[in-house]
Structure 1
């Protein structure tokens, strides 16, 4: 199995990459900076408008069985409604969390079609839910809601091609983004997410699930 993980050099992406390598899978990780030494790496900034095409070209006709769209940013922590949330912050966040996901899927679509029962996993957040809207973090919440909507629509379009799409809340995780105050460890999140990806199929395509297997309200 060939697994491609964006933003795989740290946090949840790094933990997932390690698990698939330990399982003996062929794993390609992407990162913006200097890559680690384990696995196969591609230096890639998902906000580059040619990122998806560059990634697809770099894989040189290799089938992709599982694409994990994990790269993302949370730039608006601490912003206030009165005079915060500048326009460029909106643009930068959506470029990474939404456009980057779409371009990655678009660029790797030929590779996904080469695999049997290919899967796409999109890391969103519980902060995407319109039923859970406590306010604040407007940019991040909006971008993750857009990623959820994107995943749901991709699921509809890709179902006839036999490609399943799942959208996932990874939990509040003890990473640089989640901070040390978060509820679960990176290992707990990665183990749970991997189980969700294993269970994903065309029959469940379009699902929005938590790391521990619960259906998340939209």
Structure 2
């Protein structure tokens, strides 16, 4: 199985890459700098990656790259425009460009799958306030995944959207609830279970349906 993981240089992405390599899978892990460079906001960078992978079937695409820039911002005077632009460029447009550029590779697989790492902060039913930019971007990524699921289902390509848990990474901080290994083991199980009969799901790392 060939797996492409964006943002594979640290945190959950690095953990997923290591887990799949241990399992003997072929892993193409992307990052801004590395063996497989990809700047998810740059169409030219996507085109270069697609050219390098031309003719290579991709069985699983994990859209993991993301940013959380608005921690600690105040409603009264925070959330500058550049944070909105940068966050949506990575967390939403970056996901779309990744899927779009590697769609030919997914079509070469007998059962292509796309896993989008969103967040419980995407849920409109769970809205405790704050982090407006990050929450909005992850809600948009959730919506994007749901619509991709509808469009790609006739081709046999499944799309799942996942809350990875509150994870002990640079983004999640050391105060988070679960370790990277716990998140990775749960997510790998979720991705293994993904097929067209379950496309469009929004699930937690440990297999619970998440409120939209």
**Which interval holds the TM-score relative to the shorter structure?**
over 0.9
| In the alignment, structure 1 residue 10 sits paired with structure 2 residue 4 | no
- 2:177 matches 1:173: no
Unmatched segments (≥5 aa) in structure 1 = 36-40
Residues in 2 aligned to 1:82 and 1:217: alpha-carbon distance in whole angstroms: 29
Alignment partner for residue 69 of structure 2, among 48, 67, 75? Answer: 75
Could you tell me whether the CA contact under 8 Å between 1:3 and 1:25 is conserved in 2?
yes
* Consecutive aligned runs of 4 or more in structure 1 exceeding 3 Å deviation: none
Measure the CA separation in 1 of the matches of 2:2 and 2:151: 22
Contact 1:122–1:167 at 8 Å: present in 2 too?
Answer: yes
1:117 is the counterpart of 2:126: no
In structure 2, what is the Cα distance between the partners aligned to 1:210 and 1:171?
7
Q: 2:37–2:49: 8 Å Cα contact kept in structure 1?
A: no
The answer to whether the aligner puts 1:129 opposite 2:114 as a matched pair is no
Structure 1 residue corresponding to 2:189, chosen from 195, 200, 211:
195
Partner of 1:38: none
The alignment's TM-score, normalised by the length of structure 1, stands at: 0.96
User: Residue deviations 1:167-218, cap 9 Å, x none?
Assistant: 0000000000000000000000000000000000000000000000000000
Matching of residues 83-122 of structure 1 within 5 Å = 83-122=77-116
The secondary structure found in structure 1 opposite 2:160 is: strand
Q: 2:179 corresponds to which residue? A: 185
1:24 aligns to 2:18 (yes or no): no
- The equivalent position to 1:151 in structure 2, one of 119, 141, 145, is 145
Shift of 1:47: 1.2
Q: Is the 8 A contact 2:32 2:39 kept in 1?
A: yes
Separation in 2, partners of 1:52, 1:216: 31
Query: Is 1:55 the counterpart of 2:82 in the alignment?
Result: no
Give 1:45 shift: 0.8
Task: Please give the alpha-carbon distance, in whole angstroms, between the structure 1 residues aligned to 2:26 and 2:76.
Answer: 49
SS in structure 2 of the partner of residue 50 of structure 1:
helix
Which residue does the alignment assign to 2:204?
210
CA RMSD of aligned residues (A): 0.7
Shift of 1:57: 1.1
